[in-house]
Amino acid sequence: MRTRAIRRGGLAAAALALLLTGCTGDPKPREEDLSPTPKDGVLRILAGSELQDMAPVLEEARKATGVTVQFAWTGSLDGADTVSSGRADGKYDAVWFPSEHYLRLDDAAKSELVSQTPVMVSPVAVGVRSGMLSELGWGDGSQVTWGMLGDAAAAGKLTYGMADPSRSNSGFSALVAVASAFSGASAALTDADVAKATPSLQRFFTGQKLTSGSSGWLAQAYQQAYRTGAGNRVDALVNYESVLLSLNRTLPAADRLTVIRPVDGVVSADYPLSLLASAGQPARDSFQRLTKYLLRTDVQQRISEQTLRRPVTAEVAPAAGLPTDRRRELPFPGSRAVADGLLASYQNELRRPSRTVYVLDTSGSMEGSRLDALKRAMARLAGADDTRAVRRFRDREEVTLIPFASEVKAERVHQVPASAPEGELSAVQADVQGLTASGGTALYSTLEEAFRVVARQQAAAGDDRFTSIVLMTDGESNQGASEADFRSFYGQLPAGGRTVPVFPILFGEAAKGQLQGIADLTGGKLFDGTGQAAGSLDGVFEEIRGYQ
């Protein structure tokens, strides 16, 4: 196995901050909601977005303790970078991620934390459509191992979705779990263990047909695919036990999931609330009041019932429906280098390669700073100098650029090789820097052409890649096909064509309704680039990488 630099999810640096008393699922960053200086009774927390479901509990905590939580959302691995680099100092008082396993592999990050309080527990599990169990001969699912899951995937009998481990703790935990289980490691995972597990890992990941930048969207995509037919239908999801059980509450009986905790072990999230060393005394006092409240037996019971996570207080019983037995915890990598090498191997070698099509608005309204922002964002994705490969296009990835205005201006296809990708990345750079702005906005006509391009590529290659279309525009479609025309076109696509999600980017004066409609129709997700600092598109383009 080649050891490569990490493609970690610093990419989705979505520092969305909102007061819990007004908590919503709006993904738009709102840094202005964070108190710029510490205030009595306010705790500024850098957290994983999974904790949005704690809003009711924390509102009760505010009333009981006088502590108001202000959240800024980020990915667990992004957060580890923020803490270890010192960028959290003075800006946040505490961090609250599903797990701090990765963060604590970094000595610089560990020294930034002075107190840690686990609040609740949820193992990463596999939810399999209940009707599949008899087909696979797995009974009630209680005796399934990771190896059985891998064998079914390799035989083409089981497809599943999993979050990108470089961006989501659920995906990272799943990757560590299968590497540990397949290697038979009994102590901290090593490079040798990962190398031993690689053949089994490759078999296991042949079954992954859906990827995501977050555990929440993964569940939404599963639900939408079975409810509306948009997107990619899979047989199973790898996700937190709590997310899978919560999802079952919303699904019809035929689509519900049997939650399997493999008998050979799991990796669990324990949601530690941790105080930063840089926090002042008012924040420390607030931290103590909040953590004491969260560990009360009545609050632990409410947390379990509200979130379907397990309590950490021994005398509190898990919510109804949660199994009372535990699985053994599988070993975690023993160093940051091993963890980063495992992540890099997943991105470059283990997972199925990507086919990504970028439909880029180069109409007259993009002239000047907007086109410059687009060029910068795309250049970062093609950055050969990105030695850690945090954001750049993956090895084995097929990248197609379709700049458009009143019509399609060009179609440029790039195949990033499995080794020595620098030359092809430079070619992508050259194409991006050559973009010019002129003309109107034939959005729907160009999107139809993008789907035709994908169909031709799939037919020519005869492969089954992670395939997606990114649509970036700063305006409203005003030429060519109409929305009704596109919906008719989409409805006539073969089933395989309708599994390709479109990820639109809202920028400038783009029509949000048009873009949201495209995302909903195709099983994609709308990304908001209007809140990016100084007109930058870097963050939103990087965030989308977790979904490709």
- pLDDT-derived band at 385, boundaries 50, 70, 90: low
Strand pairing of 268-269 and 272-276? unpaired
Range 366-394 average pLDDT: 81
> Which has more confidence, 80 or 514?
514
Between 192 and 21, the more confident residue is 192
pLDDT at 189 exceeding the cut of 50: yes
pLDDT at 75: 82
Asked if residue 146 has pLDDT above 80, the reply is yes
Report whether pLDDT(316) > 80.
yes
pLDDT tens digit string along 227-265? 888 888 999 999 999 999 999 999 998 889 999 999 999
Q: Could you give the CA distance from residue 331 to residue 329 in angstroms, rounded to a whole number?
A: 7
Residues 65, 49: Cα–Cα separation, whole Å: 23
pLDDT in tens, 449-474: 999 999 999 999 998 899 999 999 99
> 385: which DSSP letter?
T
What percentage of the chain has pLDDT greater than the value 70?
91
Q: What is the pLDDT of residues 409-454, one digit of tens each?
A: 999 999 999 988 889 999 999 999 999 999 999 999 999 999 999 9
Point out the least confidently predicted range of 66-70, 148-152, 474-478: 474-478
DSSP state, residue 327: P
pLDDT band at 33 (very low <50, low <70, confident <90, very high): low
Give the pLDDT score at 66. 97
Confidence of residue 529 (pLDDT cuts 50, 70, 90): confident
> In sequence order, what E strands does 213-311 have?
236-240, 257-260, 268-269, 272-276, 310-311
What's the start-to-end Cα distance of the chain, in Å? Answer: 23
pLDDT at 275: 97
Q: Quote the radius of gyration of the chain (alpha carbons, Å).
A: 23
State mean pLDDT over 378-405: 82
b/e code 59-93 from CB counts within 10 Å (16+ = b): eebbeebebbbbbbbbbbbbbbbbbbeeebeebbb
Handedness of CA 104, 105, 107, 109 (dihedral sign): negative
Mean pLDDT, the chain, rounded, equals 89
Angle 447-452-457 (CA atoms, 0-180°, nearest 5)? 125
In the prediction, which pLDDT does 36 show?
Answer: 63
Share of the chain above pLDDT 90, in %: 76
Q: Could you give the CA distance from residue 388 to residue 441 in angstroms, rounded to a whole number?
A: 37
**pLDDT, tens digit, 9 for 90 and up, residues 363-373:** 999 999 999 99
Determine the average pLDDT of the residues in 37-53: 87
pTM: 0.89
The answer to which of 32-36, 70-74, 138-142, 390-394 has the lowest mean pLDDT is 32-36
Residue 406: is its pLDDT beyond 70?
Answer: yes
Q: Which residues contact 55 (CB under 8 A, 6 or more apart)?
A: 20, 23
Crossing angle for the helix pair 146-154 and 191-205, nearest 10 degrees?
50
Question: Residue 179's pLDDT band (boundaries 50, 70, 90)?
Answer: very high
Q: Which of 431, 380, 433 is nearest to 402 (CA)?
A: 431
Question: What average pLDDT does range 139-155 have in this prediction?
Answer: 97
pLDDT at 6: 31
Nearest alpha carbon to residue 503 among 543, 446, 539, 537 = 543
- Quick: pLDDT tens for 200-216: 999 999 999 999 988 98
Domains for the chain: give ranges and CATH numbers: 9-121+270-311 (3.40.190.10), 122-268+328-343 (3.40.190.10), 353-547 (3.40.50.410)
